[in-house]
Structures are given as structure tokens and as C-alpha cells.
Amino acid sequence: MIDVFDSIESSEFPLGFCVDRTGPRDSVFSGQHGKTVLKVEARALGAHQKEAVVTEGERGPRWRMVSDEGPQLKGSDLAPFPLGFFNAGLQADLLGNIDRLNQSAGSPLLSVHQTLVNRYTFSGSFFAGTGQGQAEPAEIEIYTKGGCSLDQAAALLSEAVRNALGLAAMSSPMDCTFAIYVNGIRRTVTGVTPSAAPDVRDPLKTQGGPPRPLADGHDLPGLIQKTSDYIPPSDAMPSSSSKYGLEVLGRSELALGKAQASARTTLKAPPGSEFGFQTQEEQLQSPAAPAGLALLSAGIAFCYMTQLLRYAEYLKYKVRAIRMVQFNPFERIADSQGHLVARALPVDTHLLLHGEEPDEVMQKLLAMGATTCYLHAALKGALNPKIMLVHEGQKRQIS
């Protein structure tokens, strides 16, 4: 049973806010050549509630955000579900690239809207330990208006896709790495690819208490908020031993010239509540909202932690605390023709467990979480997105 020190409902703070804005984002956040690593420090709050502090690059802004599950997993439904964070992050990162390239081209596009669908399946039995999470390619529709031709709009979008670091996380197959610490001591990892990175510090020690929002009033209003309530499904959810699917629907619009995106995301199947996110891309100094990559990185950590919490609860493991430090590297490099291309590199996850279970049980928990996590499945595959452009009513398949 996870020790409960605080909860989303007991907090006086918003679901998302900035805790440090003193340092700049790395230049890769503005579409330039280079590399950045987002750091996610996450902890389980109890039940399915989770908190993360995401640092955008080595010295960049730090954002606090919380997550929960909906009624289908007996969550409180007070904060966005993990797959919703990932969906919103994909949306925002792509729109930021479109905005930057549109400005460079003289702003031929006058409006940009997007829908983005993620689908996931689960096979085997979660409770028997044979479960396997799988992800499918993202399906995206981009709706644009403006004075340019369909060919011009398609060329701009194609380049934006090539530069999208978020989409690269799905299309670049990767072997993610793991480290495990049991009661403060790092152990040898088995069953997954071990991390070669140095030891990390426990987030409980580095943060020194619950994060608090800045008093500068610079955050965009409603960085993360619930926008509509859950509607109970008419049919029961499939059994845990069948193959079933999850469908996440996202919609977003771009504030052209500001690199600000408003994204909404909901669990369409089975039905769930809708949550809204405000993001700001491109801005290196003092951004007013997190980048899409911050939401995406938090979503991966939250999704993995959901699986850990489910297994620990079902198997009645004596685990008192689950925390993690996760590193998400991204880079833009030049291809053979000199074009910048986005790449995502393997995620490195350091899992910190406290409890009374032997090491082999803790190792089993780490490995089962990785196998069933939908977003780690998305990172493993070469999932190129399916993209349709609709410009002034004319359609063009981009990929």
C-alpha cells in the first residue's frame, strides 16, 4: 500500500504550474540544430494519483503537473489521464513547428486546427502476468486556411513533420533503459535493458517539499484543466484477459505567430472526461506555458507508473513508495541533403522503490510495468504517423 502524504483534492494549487523560470530552454526548442534532455521527477501520491516536475533541458523552466485515471481504473478523474498528456504533447509539438515554418515563409497560413488520434491495444491477461501493451501509429488531420496553394501548404506541413520531435518519439524505434533502487540502494537490473547512467538523487530529497507555483503571475490561465465530465459507458469494459483497445481523441488549435496551442484530449473508448492543456513552443526565455515535449515526457512517466501501481495493488506487494527520475533525450541533426531531421533517443528510467519486498519481487514489478505500459510500447515501434492535410477544403495525404 502506497503511503499517502497529500492528494490532488487536498491541494490548493492548480493542476499545472511553473515552479522555476530562471533558466532558458535549449535552442532545439526553437527548431534549431542540437540536443536537449527533458528530466521528469515523478512520485506516486496514492491510489492512481501521480505528480511530476518536468525540467525542459539542462537549465530550462520546470513545470509541475499531476495525473490520475478515470472511473474505468477507479481513479478520482480529477486530473488528466497519462495517455492524454502524451496526446496533447504530440499535438502541441507539431503545431509549434508549423507556426515557426509559417512565419519563416511569410505567414501564408491564416488558421490551423488539428485532430490527433492515438490507439492502443492490450493482449493477454494483466492479472496472470501475460499482458502486453501495444501502440498504433498516430492518425492526424491538419485543417488550414490561407492564401497559399495546396502544394505550398503540403510542403510546409511535410517539413514540420520532419522537424517534429514528438512524432519522432513514435517513429524512431528505441530500446529504452532502466535502473532500479530498492530502499535507497541501486540494484542490478534484470529482464529489461539496464541503464549505464550514473546514480540519480531521490526526487524527495532534491525537491525538498511539495512544489509551489511562482508568484510572478506569468503562467497562461488554465495550463491544465478539466473541460468536460466523464459519461458512463452503456456497455461494460472487456475482460482483463481479452484483447481490447483504447482510443484517445485530441483536438487543438494554433494561435499563429505566438506558437501557443490550446489542446483538448479525451479517452473516447472507453469514454472518459475531457481535459484541456495550454502550451507555448519556440519561446526560449520565460515561456508562459510548458512545451509539448514536457507534456509528452510526463505522459510516459505517468503511464509507466500507472502499471506499477496496478500490479502492486493487485498482487498486494508491500511497496510503500514509488518514485522515478526519467530522462527523455531529443535532437535535430542534418540529413544527407542538409535538412534538419528530428530524432528521439532511448528514454532512461530510474525507478526508486521503498518497501518490504525482496529484490526479485521489485525486479518483477519493474519489468511487468515496462511490458504493459502503452507508451513504452509506442517508443519501441517504428510508428510513422498517418497524416491528412485539408487546405481550403482540398485534401492531400502527407504520410
Q: Hey, where are the domains in the chain? A: 16-173+201-299+378-397
d(CA 322, CA 319): 8
The maximal CA–CA distance of the chain, rounded, in angstroms, is 65
d(CA 79, CA 17): 13
Q: Residue 276: which of 16, 93, 62, 49 has the closest Cα?
A: 16
C-alpha cell at 364: 518483477
Taking only the tens place, the pLDDT of each residue in 356-399 is 999 999 999 999 999 999 999 999 999 999 999 999 999 999 97
Beta-carbon contacts of residue 340 (< 8 Å; ≥ 6 apart): 31, 32, 33, 162, 163, 332, 333, 334
> pLDDT band at residue 209, thresholds of 50, 70 and 90?
confident
Task: Identify residue 380 by its one-letter amino acid code.
Answer: K
Q: What is the mean pLDDT of the chain?
A: 93
* pLDDT, greater one: 47 or 198: 198
**Averaged pLDDT, 29-56:** 95
Its pTM stands at 0.96
Taking only the tens place, the pLDDT of each residue in 46-65 is 889 999 999 999 999 999 99
**Segments of the chain assigned E as strands:** 16-20, 34-46, 49-56, 62-67, 109-123, 132-135, 139-146, 177-182, 185-187, 224-228, 244-255, 260-269, 274-280, 319-334, 340-344, 348-355, 386-391, 394-397
- Tell me which fold the domain 16-173+201-299+378-397 belongs to: GMP Synthetase; Chain A, domain 3 (3.30.300)
Residue 205 confidence (pLDDT): 84
First to last CA, the chain: 46
Q: With left for phi above 0 and alpha for psi between -120 and 50, is residue 72 left, alpha or beta?
A: alpha
